[in-house]
Structure 1
């Protein structure tokens, strides 16, 4: 990354950082998309089972990955302060933490999985597929969280094209394994939706191995001496990482978990409704990769400028990123509005399921517009290392307002399953307003502290 002096230069650097992250996130999302899509082509029970399994796994994965992503603002600030020699130590501590987190997930999951699925009162076949899917994907937890740390370091250095390259390799690997293991082609076992879990676990090992090879052999990572020296676990470093990462992780968890909670609450509806809801959520999640990628880019760029004490530049990047996300959200809304039938047809061949998916996608238009404001705003706040208020705002907006509103509408009105989506829209909109208010306050504080407020 370089210091920019004009809006044109900033736009160029913003796009240089953003585009590879966007491709990477879309590719990662595509892995889940193809898991869901190909399972749905195998059968409705498999689509519902993978939907339930994914709804349990994704909040845990993204929330804990968010904690580990705390390494991004730490590394970007170190680079901005020209403390390159400290990067290897911090990344190693991140790897240690990822290993501990992985083992905790495996142990807790081993005890909690069956009781949770039993509590949901699912149809036996759907419950069986969900259980086996999660057991299969658990074999990839350690490399997945390790890759999260390594990728966060890669991106923090501005080398987002490397992450893009690694993920683009992983996507055909995952799709190919799905083709073999879900449908039993070329003599492989015909596992249905469970095969998607096996394929994802293998893919996680592949991307972790490729990422380690890159940072060990290629510049600029090689000059940072990453993983060339052994560093013991440091509780003080854990404390610094967790201080930033835990609020980030919980913010992400509260946002993703509320969607999963809706899916779990909808288990009282029939299998067709569960499958249609999850298909719509899956596609909306793919579109969500746009504001999420802008969010991650802003964390890197604002963190770099903030670490260098250039508050005016940090503010300009923030405005540029949030405005871009808002415009793009309107374009994706048009996709959902005019191509809903085509999108629904990607997930199922059954007319009843396709019709329900189309209805859910109309509601998705509204909450993805709110996401386009709230998510990039969180990225800017993370660049300032202001993470605790965002965590509180997300919790209140999604869990205190959004989910209860959805439950009341779905249970006590004739809206049925659609009531949950209205609740989500309400929570996301309130969250976006509160996060923007917080950002304005933080930027004013930093501007006054550095004297930039006079500019």
Structure 2
């Protein structure tokens, strides 16, 4: 059991390093935009909420294929891995078309969310640039998911870490201008993301062609015509998983759209809290990826007992990591908020929000691991039902009512704190029910 814990921890640590590098892209943009102008930071809060909702939802659909490839790997059916990956490109193409359509025409969504008119031009320009950064991002996710399923995430991590320095330099240069380039403001961050994403995809394609590790999987064979039976299997696994991620992410990111009407200070403070929460989320996410890869590997190898043990070891690590991050957010809240803004009002509100995000993160860690492991057992519909009911109903709906109308004896808070409190409550309920569902599934299987 201790060796299984080491395997999961080592795999998760490698994934985490790469995920944190990617998250550092967002942190970089937040700090750069905040230093450029408070209005740019507020517009970034809204723009990133829309992009993250689209990107992570589509990413979740592709990430859900990890158990399929991990099982084939565990069963030593190497040739079928390459064929399955090529079929997944059809799913990725559909995801790219859908995502770009939303990002290129975001005006209806911004009007529905009542985003202030003064923000809309910057937000739309930012999203239209990111629309062309989406295709390489999703194709790179296929490469990343393949490597994670095979237990070899190192190359992905090195690419992500290497890309951080160019992203930092380009974001600063494009935003503030210099060397003959005019200051582009917020949209400069988008152009930096576009350039780095395409460069990472080019490197991933070169590695797939040149590294001997991939030869046994025959990735580069001629792509077959769509195999509808396999695509339907992908859809049964990926679509509910993607929709579940959509509900989870939108319950989180739509807060930014609803909070925008409270003014730039509230949006800026919320951006601080959401950015730090997203960074902390990388720890349970990495552990969930590593744990689900091991669970599926053992299921493919025909050993259900070792699969259950892998989940137990991953769960222990996820809870321990969540406790550490929650404590750090609560104890260092003033210092963390001050990194993002020099405005005392924004810092004070941001520090208050970080107290609520500590509870949010603890519940988020538990439910994330449960959802990923449930996918290994092909349980995807019930998590989607729970997410819709709790995260949208209790979390997003309840927080909107508490913020703007009041609930029972509690008057309208008119503060982003209402959104974080109700969302934390919804996640606690979701974590408890998903843990019970997973326990029942393991007993049956």
Given the two structures, how large is their TM-score scaled by the length of structure 2? 0.95
Q: Equivalent residue of 2:340, what SS?
A: coil
Q: What SS does the aligned partner of 1:227 have? A: coil
Could you tell me how far apart the structure 2 residues matched to 1:427 and 1:209 are? 41
Q: Deviations over 1:203-252 (max 9, x none)?
A: 11111111111122113212211123232233322211111111221121
Per-residue deviation, 1:311: 1.4
Q: Is the 8 A contact 2:262 2:414 kept in 1?
A: no
Cα offset for 1:109?
3.9
**Unpaired segments of 5 or more residues in structure 1?**
1-6, 447-455
1:349 to 2:342 alignment: yes
Q: Does residue 72 of the first structure (1) align with residue 72 of the second (2)?
A: no
Query: Which residue does 1:3 correspond to in 2?
Result: none
Q: 2:365 aligns with which of 362, 372, 385?
A: 372
Deviations 1:240-271 (A, max 9, x none): 11111112211211111101121111122011
Contact 1:81 1:308 in 2 (8 A): yes
- Specify the SS of the correspondent of 2:132: helix
Name 1:104's counterpart in structure 2.
98
Shift of 1:334: 1.9
Whether 2:171 is the aligned partner of 1:178: answer yes
Question: What is the rounded CA distance, in whole Å, between the counterparts of 1:270 and 1:318 in structure 2?
Answer: 44
1:442 corresponds to 2:435: no
- Which of 7, 12, 23 is 1:13 aligned to? 7
Residues 356 and 420 of structure 2 are in contact (CA less than 8 Å); yes or no, is this contact kept in structure 1? Answer: yes
SS of the residue 1:221 aligns to:
helix
State the alpha-carbon separation in 1 of the partners of residues 347 and 248 from structure 2: 26
* Structure 1 counterpart SS, 2:173: helix
Residue 37 (str. 1) matches residue 31 (str. 2): yes
Q: Does the 8 A contact of 1:179 with 1:185 survive in 2?
A: no
Q: Does 1:311 align with 2:304?
A: yes
- Contact 2:58 / 2:99 at 8 angstroms: preserved in 1? no
Contact 2:315 2:366 survives alignment (8 Å): yes
Q: Structure 1 CA distance, aligned partners of 2:111 and 2:245?
A: 26
Give me the whole-angstrom Cα distance separating, in 2, the residues matched to 1:291 and 1:361. Answer: 18
Question: 2:235: which partner in 1?
Answer: 242
2:322 maps to which residue? 329
User: Is the CA contact (8 Å cut-off) linking 1:262 and 1:403 kept in structure 2?
Assistant: yes
Offset at residue 365 of structure 1 (A): 0.7
Shift of 1:157: 0.7
The secondary structure found in structure 2 opposite 1:220 is: helix
- String of CA shifts for 1:345-402, please: whole Å, max 9, x gaps: 1211111111111111111011101012111111211222222222222222201222
Count residues in correspondence.
439
SS of residue in 2 equivalent to 1:61: helix
Tell me which residue corresponds to 1:91: 85
RMSD: 1.4
Cα deviation digits, residues 131-184 of structure 1 (max 9, x gap): 111011111111111111111111111111111111111211211110111111
State how far apart, in whole Å, the 2-side matches of 1:120 and 1:405 are: 16
Task: Report how far residue 128 of structure 1 moved.
Answer: 1.4
Deviation string 1:301-336 (CA, Å, 9 cap, x unpaired) is 111011122111111111111121111111112211
Structure 2 CA distance for aligned equivalents of residues 160 and 225 of structure 1: 18
Out of 246, 257, 260, the residue aligned to residue 264 of structure 1 is 257
- Give the match for residue 392 of structure 2: 399
Cα offset, 1:287, TM superposition: 0.5
Gapped regions of structure 2 (runs ≥ 5): none
Indicate the SS of the match to 2:212: coil
Q: CA separation of 1:312/1:258 partners in 2, compared to 1, >3 Å: closer, same or farther?
A: same
For the 8 Å contact 1:98–1:145, the answer to whether it is kept is: yes
Report deviation, 1:108: 4.2
Residues 93-124 of structure 1: CA distance to partner in whole angstroms, max 9, x if unpaired? 112221222122223443x4122223444344
